[in-house]
A and B are shown apart, each in its own frame.
Chain A
Amino acid sequence: MSSKATLVLRRGAPGEAPREERWQVPFEPGQSVLDGLRWIRAQHDATLAIRYSCTNANTCKECMVRIDGRTAYACTARLREGEMRIEPLPNKALVRDLVTEIAPPHERLGS
């Protein structure tokens, strides 16, 4: 029994006008928002930028994004029926799409 979530993504790089994309994502109950984002990349658009490492364990803490206006980990937030709005963190420098600069300043190469 597959359900469908509508993920509304805010995409773009610094200096570009942000654009909104809507994707219908099928899911089984229990699946995460990160599962949905990975599904979009593999099925439709591999250029969607997302940052994650541990995938499901919530140990790397890299997949932090804004989900419906609240800061959350994409790997623990669950997909649900209806519309979900996914945006980059508003208080961090945008890198591209859903990726922001979250590393401590002294662990960055600089730009």
Chain B
Amino acid sequence: MTQHEHLQTDVLVIGSGGAGMYAAIEAARNGRSVILVDRSLVGRGGATVMAQMTVAVALEEGGLDHPEHHLADTLAAGRGLCDATIARLLCEEGPARIREMDAWGVGWARENGAYKRAFAPGHDRPRCVYVDFLNTGPAVSKTLRAQLNRIPEIRRVGDLRVTALVLEGSECVGASALHLASGRTVSISAAATVLATGGLTRLYRRNSASANMIGDGYALALDAGAELVDMEFVQFFPIGHLAPRLVGMDPIMWDPFRYKLGGRLLNGRGEEFIHRYGARDEGRYVVTRDVATYAIVKEVAAGRGSPHGGAWLSFEHCSEAELRAAGGPVIDRLAANGIDLTRQAVEVAPIAHYHMGGVRVDAAMATRVPGLYAAGEAVGGANGANRLSGNAITEALVFGRVAGASAAVRAARRRARAGLGAFRAHAEALRDGRARPEFNPAATIEALQSLMQEDVGPFRTRAGLERALGRLRALAAELPAARPAAGRPYDCALVDWLDLGAMARVGECVAAAALARCESRGAHQREDFPGMDPQWAFNQTLELEDGALRVRGAPVPA
């Protein structure tokens, strides 16, 4: 077995969630060869497969909706910071993608032939298609995998963890990677590269993320010279499952129940409380995510939380038949976990769920680095300071298609040109190292998640953010001396070490942008700067200058 393998392709797609798979399909449809890689198994890791329910799309059947209405709600949810061009792209192309998925057999829920549409918070009308029961993500993922299977021009490689984007001059010419299953180093020479690596929610102790949502795409982009935008805006999903412990259930699971049945959100004393925070609940699911998160955290801080430090969510007023109709087989999975919703409330609390910020791109999903594109949650800007419910899968499909098309156009003009020599230094660096036995990278990841949760979570202060920045920078400085060398099959300690480097850098981005923004807006709430300040109606971009992070203000793109 050789230590290194070199591959070549027109288009390299990194990450195989909804955005990556769509990008690969579109690049291949445009006649290009594609390598689609994932650090996990193809189409199984990432966030898409975990989506429970809503996909926002303005289908114009019967003239009941229009992309302009969807756009208006998206911009309002984004609190003035959305990049309107890419938000418009999401809303206008959404219907075509949802119909294409339908033609591919995804199985959107229907009633009398028409798509069923759920009403979700922040929308002016029922707009969200879904696949029953709580099966939207798995169905989307399976459908895209089936399409991939039909396209021989797409080579799929799982167990491949990309460690660097490789540049010649200022252009991205491919990537360097670690093959987890063998421990070999790999290089991939590509005319165009699409980052579809998802978000960063695993930076937080309480999250709804799969293990690979560590923000590595942001770190790769930053190192390659791209800009990031809106990094301070991390969406906390207010009603993540807290207690009792359930297995085999996504912590986001209560969302579909609320869409269908409302449910009552109560504090530790059994009182309704959302109305104290300028919104209403009243057994209907209308309160937006940022307000609900704020309300629950404040109730807990005031000593009115549920026993495990959250709020109660009750469906005890619903009949068994209503619950069965809403949850289907999920009711049986709850029963297997000892839960009967007609007799007991469950505890919920905010968990890190989605990241609005990300790689800065134009309407073609191109970064400022020639040859480098981004798609899906890895992209920043479309959702501003707060994402509208249901926009995540839509943006994955739309931005994925656009990024794949743009990458194909570039690859049609120029072939992959970088030889093995361009990648040699990266591969050698990966094989060089000496692990320090006393340094446990898995424990260090847990420590990082705790510090992010405490000091860079839904509520922030100057003191907490400065403390977090100090600790993240100290951690980053400690890493080089504890680097394990690549070469062993499935070296989890090496993967954790690589992840820590990305997590420390990306955590620094979130904390630095949050420290600079001296106001509260959408998902970014500063205890020391309450309320939205019109003076702060601009985006913040981040880039590396001589290895140091720079945060700058930038006007919101028209």
List residues of A whose CB falls within 8 A of some B CB. Answer: 13-14, 28-32, 38, 41-43, 46-62, 73, 75-76, 78, 95-97, 99, 101-103, 106-109, 111
Contact = CB atoms under 8 A, between A and B. Distances in A.
Interface in B284-325: none
Nearest to A101: B181
A75 B44 CA distance: 15
Contacts of A76: 247-248
B246 A109 contact: no
B41 A60 contact: yes
Contacts of B44: 53, 59-62
B554 interface: no
A111 B181 contact: yes
Nearest to B208: A57
Contacts of A99: 489-490
Given A62-B45, A107-B158, 11 more contacts: A30-B244, A46-B440, A46-B496, A53-B210, A56-B248, A60-B40, A60-B41, A97-B490, A108-B157, A109-B160, A111-B1
Nearest to A31: B245
Nearest to B138: A59
A109 B442 contact: no
A111 B183 CA distance: 10
Nearest to B45: A53
A48 B492 contact: yes
Interface of A is mostly: loop
A107 B249 CA distance: 27
Contacts of A50: 492
A95 B211 CA distance: 19
Nearest to B155: A106
B281 interface: no
B42 interface: yes
B446 interface: yes
A52 B442 CA distance: 14
B389 to A, nearest CB: 19
A55 B46 CA distance: 11
B250 A107 contact: no
A50 B211 CA distance: 12
A70 to B, nearest CB: 16
A49 B250 contact: no
Interface residues of B, number: 48
A49 B249 CA distance: 24
B156 interface: yes
B488 interface: yes
Contacts of A95: 181, 489-490
Contact of A56 (B41, B46, B160, B251): B251
A107 B305 CA distance: 47
Given A54-B50, A99-B490, A109-B157, A43 B443 contact: yes
Given A62-B45, A108-B159, A53 B212 contact: yes
Contacts of B250: 54, 56-57, 59
A53 B211 contact: yes
Contacts of A30: 244-247, 337
Contacts of A107: 41-42, 156-158
Nearest to B1: A111
B249 A57 contact: yes
A103 B46 CA distance: 16
List of 5 A-B pairs having minimum Cβ-Cβ separation, nearest first:
A30-B245, A57-B250, A53-B45, A58-B248, A46-B442
A62 B245 contact: no
A47 B493 contact: yes
B73 interface: no
Interface of B: 1, 5, 40-42, 44-46, 49-50, 137-138, 156-160, 179, 181-182, 184, 186, 209-212, 244-251, 337, 440-443, 445-446, 488-493, 496
Contacts of B492: 41, 46-50
Nearest to A53: B45
A32 B245 CA distance: 9
A109 B181 contact: yes
A82 B49 CA distance: 35
Contacts of A106: 156
11 contacts: A42-B442, A46-B441, A49-B492, A56-B247, A59-B50, A60-B210, A95-B490, A96-B490, A99-B489, A107-B42, A111-B1
A108 B181 contact: yes
A29 B243 CA distance: 12
B49 A46 contact: no
B490 A53 contact: no
B491 A49 contact: yes
Given A42-B446, A59-B250, A99-B490, A109 B212 contact: no
Nearest to A73: B248
Contacts of A101: 181
Given A76-B247, A109-B181, A96 B138 contact: no
A84 to B, nearest CB: 15
Contacts of A59: 44, 49-50, 137-138, 250
A46 B137 contact: no
A51 B40 CA distance: 9
Nearest to A98: B490
B248 A55 contact: no
A46 B158 contact: no
A2 B528 CA distance: 39
A32 B45 CA distance: 19
A97 B176 CA distance: 26
A66 B184 CA distance: 27
Contacts of B491: 47, 49, 96
Contacts of B50: 54, 57, 59
Contacts of B181: 95, 101, 108-109, 111
B158 A52 contact: no
